[in-house]
């Protein structure tokens, strides 16, 4: 398996522009996570999907952020409009948790290589 695949790896955009980050999870995994990492705040959970359904989006900063998972093999994180404070590395991770809706368990998170976003 190729692992979790994220695109783009790097994105530089201007304030106010729309940004779309993409993620392909590992086949067979039932859970997908979007994280944001900055030097100041470390890794922060933005949103979590289980079986393509958003379970917890309490970490999404504000209405400018939205995430979708139309099927088991694809997810997007969209920022519209983008702001300089959104500059960070955005990681997608997938895992297999044994029971539907469960957010705990021994499931190992497999992270993608991240998308580094710079908003000027």
Query: Which residues make up the interface to other proteins (CB under 8 A)?
Result: 4, 42-45, 48, 56, 91, 93, 101-106, 108-109, 111-114
CB closer to other proteins, 14 vs 38: 38
CA distance 51 to 115: 23
Handedness of CA 61, 67, 72, 73 (dihedral sign): negative
Q: How far is the CB of 31 from other proteins (least distance, A)?
A: 10
Integer-rounded Cα radius of gyration of the chain: 14
Instruction: Give the pair of three-digit tokens for residue 55.
Output: 């379970």
The distance of closest approach from Cβ of residue 94 to other proteins in the complex, given in angstroms and rounded to an integer, is 11
In the complex, what is the shortest distance from the CB of residue 82 to other proteins, in angstroms, rounded to a whole number?
A: 22
């Amino acid at each position: 398996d190729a692992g979790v695949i994220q695109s783009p790896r790097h994105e530089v955009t201007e304030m106010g522009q729309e940004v779309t980050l993409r993620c392909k999870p590992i086949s067979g995994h039932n859970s997908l996570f979007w994280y944001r990492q900055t030097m100041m705040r470390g890794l922060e959970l933005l949103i979590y999907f289980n079986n393509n359904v958003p379970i917890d989006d309490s970490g999404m900063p504000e209405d400018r952020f939205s995430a979708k998972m139309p099927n088991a093999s694809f997810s997007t994180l969209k920022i519209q409009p983008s702001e300089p404070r959104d500059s960070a590395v955005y990681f997608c991770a997938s895992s297999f948790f044994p029971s539907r809706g469960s957010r705990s368990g021994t499931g190992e998170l497999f992270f993608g290589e991240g998308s580094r976003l710079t908003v000027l």
